[in-house]
Chains A and B, each alone.
Chain A
């Protein structure tokens, strides 16, 4: 194990000030530094009542070295939906925090590691030392009161010699859909794996208007095989998706293979729904590569 301790975006987080009156404090307590862990502490961010927001915090990587990470614990307060570590093509000043709810704001951001998901024994993600961290937090404040948030990502870190194989996340996401009011919409889109890999995990992502989800993978369109089928889709899966694990027998996928994502929704409102209010994505982990795959279809 290596000794990597605390890196803070918010230098005041070690001695937090009380939340203002009339604000619900859902900040995560900053854990004490521990050998074998690297803690990334997000900023304090207030979310207004009845508001859904994704905010992104740009945090300069001061470690100067690659992080070798077999597991990440994403710590969020109540009303948290997800926290994820992204990398950016366009660096911003350290400490920059901004709303990144829109599809366009995600254009330069790519996932490097997904919190709370297991990898096969001996596998780890490599996070390059020269990328700026972007910590993305998604909250849905369902209350009539502002909430004060602060998330923490706790990375388990190991040395290169402890790694048997590298892993990297993949995501196949549709951004350009629109769900007409009071109608069922059935959307399929394809992405390609650029290299030979094995899949250790496949997961779905939709929101509350989803009714059906399917991921198929195969070397050609005629050879697609269902690897994840969720029917019916339940509202609970928005936050706790049904993950298909292949930890003991990662599923081989050859370069050029297709991953087809199929989402079906019923929009029971009188307004059209678009990203990010609804989403359609397959995500997961690949082993045998340290290069993330991020396929977005507009």
Chain B
């Protein structure tokens, strides 16, 4: 059982794409929030802002976040995500080409707008949970993934 670092800044090393393994693939993200986030009284600001996060190999993410030494396969910065009305964001993000395998996304929705100064969530920012947002990259394919922020950080 149980959590719970909801978000932890990962390492900065990127997936090596230089070796001759199977053909690479990519992911196309858009973003959403759960009803629990949308109705949450602890939400600090309207559901609009930047998304910051990282992709990790799925097996390197535990219930408490990335394992010690886990390296991000790609870092995510997406500006202008607006979920004040839309259930799913119009804005998308496309990953670089990465090896086919299972990944998890960990990140936060910077609705209070200070992600330029701190890349950690603050009270009132929606965050991902380590147990969700897992997807599998397939060779020569762009996999569509809707990332869900399921809890408001406190």
Q: A residues engaging B (CB < 8 A)?
A: 74, 81-83, 114-118, 203, 225-226, 229-232, 234, 236-237, 239-246, 249
Q: Which residue of A lies closest to B41 (CB)?
A: A226
**Which of A117, A226, A231 meets B35, CB within 8 Å?**
A231
* CB within 8 Å for A242 and B151 given contacts A74-B1, A117-B4: yes
Say yes or no: is B131 at the interface (Cβ < 8 Å to chain A).
yes
B1 touches A240 (CB 8 A): yes
**Which of B1, B41, B132 meets A239, CB within 8 Å?**
B1
Task: Give chain B residues whose Cβ lies under 8 Å from the Cβ of A230.
Answer: 34, 36, 150-151
Task: Give chain A residues whose Cβ lies under 8 Å from the Cβ of B6.
Answer: 245
Q: B residues engaging A (CB < 8 A)?
A: 1-4, 6, 34-36, 39-41, 63-64, 123, 129-132, 150-151, 154
Pairs A–B under 8 Å by Cβ, sample size 27: A74-B1, A81-B1, A116-B3, A116-B63, A116-B64, A117-B2, A203-B2, A225-B41, A229-B36, A229-B40, A230-B150, A230-B151, A231-B35, A231-B39, A234-B132, A236-B132, A237-B131, A239-B1, A239-B63, A240-B3, A240-B63, A240-B130, A240-B131, A242-B3, A242-B150, A244-B151, A245-B4
Which of A74, A83, A232 has the most chain B CB atoms inside 10 A of its CB?
A232
A241 touches B2 (CB 8 A): yes
A123 to B131, CA, bound (A): 27
A229 touches B39 (CB 8 A): yes
Task: Give chain B residues whose Cβ lies under 8 Å from the Cβ of A116.
Answer: 1-4, 63-64
Q: How far is the CB of B87 from chain A (nearest CB, A)?
A: 13
Q: How far is the CB of A151 from chain B (nearest CB, A)?
A: 12
A167 to B41, CA, bound (A): 26
A246 touches B154 (CB 8 A): yes
* CB within 8 Å for A244 and B2 given contacts A116-B63, A226-B40, A232-B35: no
**Which of B1, B36, B123 meets A241, CB within 8 Å?**
B1
Q: How far is the CB of A279 from chain B (nearest CB, A)?
A: 13
Q: Which residue of A lies closest to B3 (CB)?
A: A243
Q: Which residue of A lies closest to B134 (CB)?
A: A236
Which of A74, A115, A237, A241 has the most chain B CB atoms inside 10 A of its CB?
A241
Task: Give chain A residues whose Cβ lies under 8 Å from the Cβ of B64.
Answer: 116
A240 touches B41 (CB 8 A): no
Q: Which residue of A lies closest to B37 (CB)?
A: A229
Known: A81-B1, A232-B36, A241-B2. 12 other contacts (CB 8 A): A115-B1, A115-B2, A203-B2, A229-B40, A231-B39, A237-B131, A239-B63, A242-B129, A242-B150, A243-B2, A243-B3, A245-B6
Q: How far is the CB of A146 from chain B (nearest CB, A)?
A: 23
